[in-house]
Structures are given as structure tokens and as C-alpha cells.
């Protein structure tokens, strides 16, 4: 969990030190301590450090807590439908290959509803960048199981324990196409989070960063796993 005082310092830093400001004037509405604050800071840092031209930048947002970043970043973009953000992003990149095209979403949207689009993008190695806040739950809707929820976990939608085995996105996508960039990183490891986002943005092809998070509001139920 990010303690509220570090969060305040981060937000102050973002406000005062960004040479290119990707922030909107809307205050983030995530729960205090949500790891999406770390993703938000790391993305802005890298977009700034890499001097990404905002005129050629499009960010597509899925649905869920992470994707609410649509309100907090000030770039061209689309807040799409649940699971359809990658399909929209692929269309944009095909229509205008000069664009830097990014997707931001959660494990529910990207690995669940959107898995077909994710596999298609991986097969084609299309040059789009996908950042997934993987909190092992559908959090915006208060904590149902997602494709990464551990087997046996008692959640709001699995009161008797999750009967499904979780998917491992890195292994799955590497099997589909070993040429793509795909890495898991813990959001609390800020240097690795920054470095991995940088590597993904610089990669010439399809890149996905699986950003492991603990949802401070609904994540506790995942600790109820029974083997
Ligand atoms: C097609 C569709 N089905 C269901 C919903 C309801 N819904 C909104 S957010 C959400 C869960 C999002 O989970 P995830 O993608 O993991 O994002 P998180 O909130 O965990 O960041 C769901 C099911 C929706 N908006 N659209
Ligand atoms: S419900 Fe969880 S993922 Fe959503 S804002 Fe709160 S802590 Fe973050
Ligand atoms: Mg989620």
C-alpha cells in the first residue's frame, strides 16, 4: 500500500516538475493508497523523459478503476468499451502508423472480455503498448473474480472458492508469439516499474506490461485462498 503522505509528495512532484504536462485538471478519484497512483506517475515520467510528441499520442482506456485514468490524463484518446480497447488501438495504428498508441486497462478487461483482441494483437506484433493494472479482481464493480484470481479464492462472486485456475499472461502471450515484449512487474517496485514501462515504450513491436497490484479496497478477500 502507498501511504497517503508519499502519495501527496508524488502528486506535488508531478504538478511542479513535469516539463510536458500530461495531467488534466481533474483530481484522481482512486482510493487513498491505490497502486494506480504509482502507474499514473510512472507513465507521465516516461512519456516526458522519452519526449513523446503529444500531438501524435493516443491513449485508449478500457473500463474499470485503472482505466479511469481517462479523466486524469490530458491527451488525445478514447474511453472505449470493456475489453475492446485493444481493438480500437489496433484500428488507430493501422490507420496512422506514425501514432504512438497506448492502451490502459485492468486484468478483467484485457485478460477477460478482451482476450481475443489481445491474442490477435500479439500474433500480429503490432506496435501498440498495453499497460495492465493486474489486481486479480474486477475492482470497480467491488471485487468479483477475474482471469488472474487465484484458484480457491473466496470473492464476492465465488463465495465457495474460485473453481478456475488463473491464467499467466506472460507465459500465455510468449507461447502465442515469442517476438513480442511482455513482462510482469510489481507496482511497489518503483524503479522496476519505471524501467519496464520505458522498455515497453521503446520496443519496436507489441508490448504489454503486467503491473501487479493489491487493491486496497477489495484485495483482502484474495488472502482467503484454501489449497
Ligand atoms: C461489457 C461490460 N461488462 C461489464 C461492465 C461492468 N464493469 C465495469 S468495470 C468492471 C470491472 C473491471 O475490472 P478490471 O478490468 O480488472 O479493472 P479494475 O476495476 O480492477 O481496475 C466491470 C465488470 C461493463 N462496463 N461493460
Ligand atoms: S477499488 Fe481498488 S483498484 Fe479501485 S481505486 Fe480503490 S484501491 Fe484502486
Ligand atoms: Mg482488475
Q: What is the pLDDT of residue 14?
A: 62
pLDDT in single tens digits along all 227 residues of the chain: 667 777 777 777 666 655 568 999 999 999 999 999 999 999 999 999 999 999 999 999 999 999 999 999 999 999 999 999 999 999 999 999 999 999 999 999 999 999 999 999 999 999 999 999 999 999 999 999 999 999 999 999 999 999 999 999 999 999 999 999 999 999 999 999 999 999 999 999 999 999 999 999 999 988 876 55
Q: How many angstroms is it from 138 CA to the middle of ligand 1? A: 6
Cell of 126: 503490432
What is the rounded CA–CA span in Å between residue 139 and residue 137?
Answer: 5
57-61 sheet: strands from edge to edge: 76-79, 57-61, 100-106, 129-134, 207-212, 181-186
Nearest CA to ligand 1 atom 2: 82
Ligand 2 pocket member 1 (CB < 6 A): no
User: Residue 85's closest CA among 68, 64, 110, 56?
Assistant: 110
Q: What is the pLDDT of residue 20?
A: 63
Give this prediction's pTM: 0.92
With contact defined as beta carbons under 8 Å apart, do 43 and 10 qualify?
no
What domains can you pick out in the chain, each with its CATH number? 4-224 (3.40.50.970)
Amino acid at each position: 500500500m502507498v501511504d497517503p503522505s508519499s502519495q501527496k509528495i508524488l502528486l506535488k512532484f508531478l504538478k511542479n516538475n513535469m516539463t510536458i504536462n500530461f495531467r488534466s485538471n481533474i483530481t484522481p478519484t482512486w482510493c487513498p493508497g491505490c497502486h494506480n497512483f504509482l502507474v499514473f506517475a510512472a507513465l507521465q515520467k516516461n512519456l516526458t523523459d522519452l519526449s513523446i510528441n503529444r500531438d501524435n499520442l493516443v491513449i485508449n482506456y478500457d473500463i474499470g478503476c485503472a482505466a479511469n485514468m481517462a479523466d486524469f490524463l490530458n491527451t488525445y484518446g478514447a474511453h472505449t468499451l470493456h475489453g475492446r480497447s485493444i481493438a480500437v488501438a489496433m484500428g488507430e495504428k493501422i490507420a496512422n502508423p506514425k501514432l504512438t498508441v497506448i492502451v490502459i486497462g485492468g486484468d478483467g478487461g484485457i485478460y477477460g472480455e478482451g482476450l481475443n483482441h489481445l491474442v490477435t494483437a500479439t500474433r500480429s506484433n503490432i506496435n501498440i503498448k498495453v499497460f495492465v493494472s493486474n489486481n486479480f479482481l474486477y475492482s470497480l464493480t467491488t471485487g468479483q473474480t477475474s482471469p488472474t484470481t487465484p484458484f480457491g479464492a473466496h470473492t464476492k462472486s465465488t463465495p465457495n472458492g474460485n473453481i478456475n485456475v488463473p491464467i499467466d499472461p506472460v507465459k500465455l502471450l510468449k507461447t502465442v508469439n515469442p517476438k513480442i515484449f511482455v513482462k510482469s512487474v510489481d507496482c511497489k517496485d518503483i524503479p522496476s516499474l519505471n524501467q519496464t514501462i520505458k522498455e515497453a515504450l521503446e520496443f519496436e513491436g507489441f508490448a504489454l506490461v503486467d503491473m501487479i497490484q493489491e487493491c486496497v479496497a477489495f484485495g483482502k478477500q484474495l488472502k482467503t485462498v484454501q489449497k
